[in-house]
Amino acid sequence: MEFFVAQILTGLANASSLFLVACGLSLIFGVTRIVNFAHGSLYMLGAYIGYSLMQVLPGMIGFWGAILLAGVIVGVIGVAIEMLVLRPVYRAPELFQLVATFGVILVIQDLALIIWGPEDLLGPRAPGLRGVVRIMGEPIPKYDIALLVITPLVAVALWYLITRTRVGVLVRAATQDREMVGALGVNQAWLFTGVFALGSALAGLGGALQLPKGGADLMMDFNILPPLFVVVVVGGMGSLPGAYLAAIIISVLNVFGVAYMPQSTLVLMFVVMIVVLMIRPYGLFGREEVAGEHGQAGEPERPIKPASDKIRLLVTAGIVILALLPLYGSSFAQVLTTDILIFCLFAASLHFLLGLGGMVSFGHAAYYGGGAYVAALLVTHAGSPMELAFILAPLGAGLAALVIGWVCLRLTGVYFAMLTLAFAQLLWSLVFQWGTVTGGDDGLINIWPAEWLKDTTIYFYFALFFAVGGILVMRHVAHSPFGYALRAARDSERQAEATGINTKQVQLLAFGFAGMMGGLAGALFVFSKGSVFPNELEIARSFDALIVVFLGGVKTLSGGVVGAGVFKAIEDVLTRFEYWRLIMGLLIIFVVILAPDGIVGSLRKAARRVGGLKAGGEE
Amino acid sequence: MKRSTFLKAMIATATLAAMPVCAVAQDTIKIGEINHYKRMAAFAGPYKQGIELAIDEVNAAGGVLGKPLEFIFRDDQGEPGEAIKIAEELMTREGAVMLTGTILSNVGLAISSFAGEKGYVYLASEPLADSLVWGAGNKYTFRLRASTYMQAAMLAEAAANTDAKTFATIAPNYAYGKDAVAAFKENLLRLKPDVEFVAEQWPGVFKIDAGAEVQALERAKPDAIYNVTFGPDLAKLVRQGTDRGLFEGRQVFGLLSGEPEYIDPLGDEAPEGWIVTGYPWYDLQDGPGGDFVAAYQARWDDYPRVGSLVGYMTVQSIAAALTKAGSTESDAIQAAFEDLQVATPLGGITFRSIDNQSTAGAYVGTTALRDGKGVMVDWAYKDGADYLPSDEEVSKLRPAD
């Protein structure tokens, strides 16, 4: 019993920081509909700034003052981010802003490294709160008790702000219907900025408040993201009580997981998230998303049409030039091009899902890495020949996509995206954990192609054939009746149903097909590298694809491929410089602001304006 | 249109990437060094400084084979796929004669597999995974640093000399943590069959919930604790454990916990009385170990970390191998590494031909506080050769070349 109580207290204390950061994220999403991936970075900045302030400000007042001040400063940074980076792109397609926030992550990572250096900083102790108090004989750190008091106070203050003040009324109104709030004469821009500032300040506060329990390090930003999103989604996006309850549930469950199933901690929260979303598709306190609210923001999309003869000629010429690469390029140029081709195919498969299907998957790496793992497992454990493994890999990935898609398609919009993320994480945990079969993080190695394919040039042609072939097949599917049905389901589910299209079935098939193409890319990858590790299933890999698809242009047919090609090539150049993340981040932000329709979309628009090209031309 | 945009980008890349290559004179011997300079900046920085110090010394003494030695440093972002691409570029375009580097085991394993396939020599300097030279070993991959198994065996020996009967372990939940616990158990049970392991805790790496872990360890009431966590996880564990009295009256064994990289960030909260592996550079004054510390401090105005030492020894090993090979051909270098003897700050080490593992060892000592900093006292250097399994066992572990 004593142990039980002590565990619950530990869980509640852990929930403190998580709640502050999560409610900031929830608030921002509720009002601005921005999925702020940079929220972890703001949390990290809070920790670093709080640390620096505590070095300067003395004593107890200095300590608590530093925490508050860290919150305020991060709030101001949030204002800067909102005004400089996000405000120019509110009109862009749905979720486009998340790419901008990803650019912010990269910039903050390098700035933090420049300012605070690479070494981990141990958080200062809270003055007067060193040591423990005994509760029923169990030692509980005094600072935990302080957190147990502070969190409900902050929660109540927020509750008062939201339910009892005019600002709160506006925030709630904007969460429910932001167009209406705008129509009633409220200055939306300032409301958004204000909410972003508040959300950022809460993240900063959370970062500073956890200092005495840990410290500041450069990996904090990514490490907090998974639990953060789980809490926000389980609680219901935009709901503060939901975030509070979810933070407590996740933290307390985690404490019990540590005690009774020590190996389970990697997967536990994702299982919770999946279970909750199965029972309550919009989280504990979330509200159903209004159809059309997402997905089709901005101007309506132009219908796609088959490429003109001129463009076909250009593409053919491009492929021929590419195919002649071994004549004029070095062996490394072929390796680099193979990498880029594989990534283009991967991005194109996500683009198919996102652009044509309107299904935003945050976990597409599951199928890319899944395909790679299917091939590697077959080679390692069944000794199957490379050719067979290569054929079965996309099928395995497609099958996995069908199963996951079947579950996820019960949801829509951001909840759908989050559920795909949860499944990708689950798959990652499985591979990471199941060392005897998958090799854990030591991966599967010596997965080389068959003898006749070993040569770099031959493998280059192999990759070229399958990547270009895969991309062309997807393009062809887009123009087939199936592609039309898919777009109909995306644009208006009800009308599509009325014309006799089984929209869920069409979407499920598309999900499986995109997964299969992702798996094909993964199979090409594993045999080109000779090994596979859980990195290929990570969130970061899903985001890689997501970012290039958005930057290339969601509402164009070739956006995914162009974005992937351009950014993979730029990355190869940039990583040769020391602060390449800073440059890459700024570049992403720059592209986001300058070309809110993506590279292809914006070029097309510009060309149309100039009148040099007919509509549909893409250069 | 998509292809042409894509091609333009390709050509731009190729031109940009080709520029530095042309600028470099061709009369040096180049070594390709791949590391996670960004992702693991705190470790890769001192490592690089160790390399640069050693290169200066080698070149001041006339270089190797009559040419200056040159390292090409490249960042792989901690991604195995990226590392392989860079390895390919270094070997086929930059004219590197062999590869070295990496801290993360998975990246090391990826490069090792690539090196074995292509017949390039790879000296894995820092990755600790046992499988690198055993289960997944190949002819072309050599490893410099004392592996997980060796360091865990050193601590197991120390643990067998205490009265502790029941042990609890806490290790990050990934391959390194699992290997470290398995090796510790295997060696301790061999030395002292009556010990009992009463709890195993597996926090996610860098995701520790220290309060809960400490409670779970406390509940098992072990005589002693074996810790494998490191970095921010270690800091959190130490703070929560100290606050909650977990370490009172318990002997703690900490793998790598005495390395400056891990104990220094703890400042005056560094745990006292833990038996750890690490690097007591502050006590090294004489002999090759002391000379290295003095030279490093003179060159960099900073003190050496374990990474610095490993970087320095990497260059020493490569220079020795090239000299012995008398050539820059891969197979000659590979042959030279077999049974290669190198004089290093740790003393003489040998790259064993049986498994390509060097006999570099580690320092084992007890932690204490000195001037508000964690240090190792009563330390002794343990030769790696004494902490490896028997030759028959190694042959069983390692696939035939």
In A, minimum Cα distance to B135 occurs at A445
- Please check whether residue A385 lies inside any domain of the structure: yes
User: How confident is the model over A13-30, as a mean pLDDT?
Assistant: 91
Q: Which residues contact B95 (CB under 8 A, 6 or more apart)?
A: B26, B30
For helices A539-552 and A365-382, angle between their N-to-C axes, nearest 10 degrees: 130
- The CA-to-CA distance between both ends of chain B, in Å, stands at 50
In A, minimum Cα distance to B242 occurs at A131
- Determine the structural domain holding residue A500 and report its residue range: 312-610
Contact A11 B212 (CB under 8 A): yes
Q: What total of structural domains would you count in chain B?
A: 2
> In this structure, what DSSP letter does residue B139 have?
T
- Please check whether residue B299 lies inside any domain of the structure: yes
Contact criterion met (CB below 8 Å) for B354 and B391: yes
Interchain contact A2–B (C-beta under 8 A): no
Nearest in space to A269 (alpha carbons), one of A235, A238, A237 = A235
Residue type, A593: I
Same domain, A206 and A351: no
Length of chain A (residues): 619
Q: Which chain B positions have a beta carbon within 8 Å of A213's beta carbon?
A: 210-211, 236, 239-240
CA angle A25, A26, A27 (to 5 degrees): 90
Nearest in space to A348 (alpha carbons), one of A501, A561, A143, A526 = A561
Q: What CA–CA distance (Å, rounded) separates A160 from A168? A: 8
Q: What CA–CA distance (Å, rounded) separates B107 from B200? A: 27
The answer, yes or no, to whether residue B307 has pLDDT greater than 60, is: yes
For helices A365-382 and A413-433, angle between their N-to-C axes, nearest 10 degrees: 20
Same domain, B69 and B55: yes
Which of residues A199, A220, A241 is at a domain's end?
A: A220
Q: What total of structural domains would you count in chain A?
A: 2
Contact A619 B110 (CB under 8 A): no
Q: Name beta bridge partners: A140.
A: A133
- Please check whether residue B401 lies inside any domain of the structure: no
Residue type, A476: H
Contact criterion met (CB below 8 Å) for B349 and B359: yes
Q: Which chain B positions have a beta carbon within 8 Å of A583's beta carbon?
A: none
The closest CB to that of A530, out of B4, B92, B114, belongs to B114
Same domain, A180 and A316: no
The closest CB to that of A440, out of B81, B174, B243, belongs to B174
Interchain contact A306–B (C-beta under 8 A): no
Same domain, B239 and B383: yes
Helices assigned H by DSSP within B192-243: 210-220, 232-243
How many CA atoms does the CB half-sphere of B275 hold within 13 Å? 21
Q: What CA–CA distance (Å, rounded) separates A571 from A565? A: 10
Q: Which chain A positions have a beta carbon within 8 Å of B4's beta carbon?
A: 314, 317-318, 619
**Per-residue confidence (pLDDT) for residue A619, from 0 to 100:** 37
Each residue's pLDDT tens digit, A192-214: 899 999 999 999 999 999 999 88
Q: Name beta bridge partners: B363.
A: B278, B381
In B, minimum Cα distance to A130 occurs at B243
Interchain contact A329–B (C-beta under 8 A): yes
Same domain, B172 and B275: yes
Q: What CA–CA distance (Å, rounded) separates A59 from B290? A: 41
- Please check whether residue B387 lies inside any domain of the structure: yes
**Per-residue confidence (pLDDT) for residue A259, from 0 to 100:** 85
- Please check whether residue B399 lies inside any domain of the structure: no
- Please check whether residue A348 lies inside any domain of the structure: yes
pLDDT over 90, % of chain A: 55
**Per-residue confidence (pLDDT) for residue A296, from 0 to 100:** 46
Same domain, B89 and B40: yes
Q: Which chain A positions have a beta carbon within 8 Å of B117's beta carbon?
A: 446, 448, 530
Same domain, B338 and B370: no
Same domain, B9 and B140: yes
Contact A315 B3 (CB under 8 A): yes
Contact B175 A573 (CB under 8 A): no
Same domain, B370 and B226: yes
Which CATH number goes with the domain that contains A324? Answer: 1.10.3470
Same domain, A186 and A334: no
CA angle B235, B240, B245 (to 5 degrees): 125
- Please check whether residue A273 lies inside any domain of the structure: no
- Please check whether residue A512 lies inside any domain of the structure: yes
Q: Which residues contact A70 (CB under 8 A, 6 or more apart)?
A: A46, A47, A49, A50, A53, A204, A205, A207, A208
Which CATH number goes with the domain that contains B71? Answer: 3.40.50.2300
The answer, yes or no, to whether residue A224 has pLDDT greater than 80, is: yes
Same domain, B94 and B140: yes
Q: What CA–CA distance (Å, rounded) separates A46 from A54? A: 12
Enter the pTM of the model: 0.89
Tokens (6 digits) for A182: 């705008």
Query: Nearest CA of chain B to the CA of A510: how many Å?
Result: 23
Same domain, A209 and A344: no
Query: Nearest CA of chain A to the CA of B288: how many Å?
Result: 28
Same domain, B303 and B239: no
Same domain, B112 and B256: no
Contact A141 B131 (CB under 8 A): no
The answer, yes or no, to whether residue B401 has pLDDT greater than 70, is: no
Q: Which chain B positions have a beta carbon within 8 Å of A619's beta carbon?
A: 1, 4-5
**Which residues of chain B from 39 to 68 reach within 8 Å of chain A, CB to CB?**
41-42, 45
Same domain, A211 and A341: no
Which of residues A172, A204, A220 is at a domain's end?
A: A220
The closest CB to that of A435, out of B175, B204, B266, belongs to B175
Q: What CA–CA distance (Å, rounded) separates B305 from B292? A: 11
In A, minimum Cα distance to B246 occurs at A139
- Please check whether residue A364 lies inside any domain of the structure: yes
> In this structure, what DSSP letter does residue A356 have?
I
- Please check whether residue B398 lies inside any domain of the structure: no
Each residue's pLDDT tens digit, B313-340: 999 999 999 999 999 999 999 999 999 9
Q: What CA–CA distance (Å, rounded) separates B237 from B255? A: 14
- Please check whether residue B396 lies inside any domain of the structure: no
The answer, yes or no, to whether residue A276 has pLDDT greater than 70, is: yes
Same domain, A183 and A67: yes
Same domain, B55 and B177: no
**H-helix or E-strand containing B207?**
none
- The CA-to-CA distance between both ends of chain A, in Å, stands at 70
The closest CB to that of B7, out of A132, A318, A575, belongs to A318
- Please check whether residue A322 lies inside any domain of the structure: yes
Which of residues A194, A220, A246 is at a domain's end?
A: A220
The closest CB to that of B10, out of A562, A569, A599, belongs to A569
The answer, yes or no, to whether residue B9 has pLDDT greater than 60, is: no
Burial string for B138-163 (b: 16+ CB within 10 Å, else e) reads bbbbbbbbbbbbbbbbbbbbbbeeee
Lowest mean pLDDT among A93-97, A229-233, A244-248, A264-268: A93-97
**Which residues of chain A from 444 to 473 reach within 8 Å of chain B, CB to CB?**
445-446, 448
With bands split at pLDDT 50, 70 and 90, how would you rate the model's confidence at A290? Answer: low
* Number of Cβ within a 10 Å radius of residue B19: 8
Contact A130 B243 (CB under 8 A): yes
**H-helix or E-strand containing B251?**
strand B251-258
Query: Nearest CA of chain B to the CA of A22: how many Å?
Result: 17
Helices assigned H by DSSP within B301-400: 306-325, 330-337, 391-397
- Please check whether residue A53 lies inside any domain of the structure: yes
Same domain, B367 and B233: yes
- Determine the structural domain holding residue B338 and report its residue range: 2-147+286-361
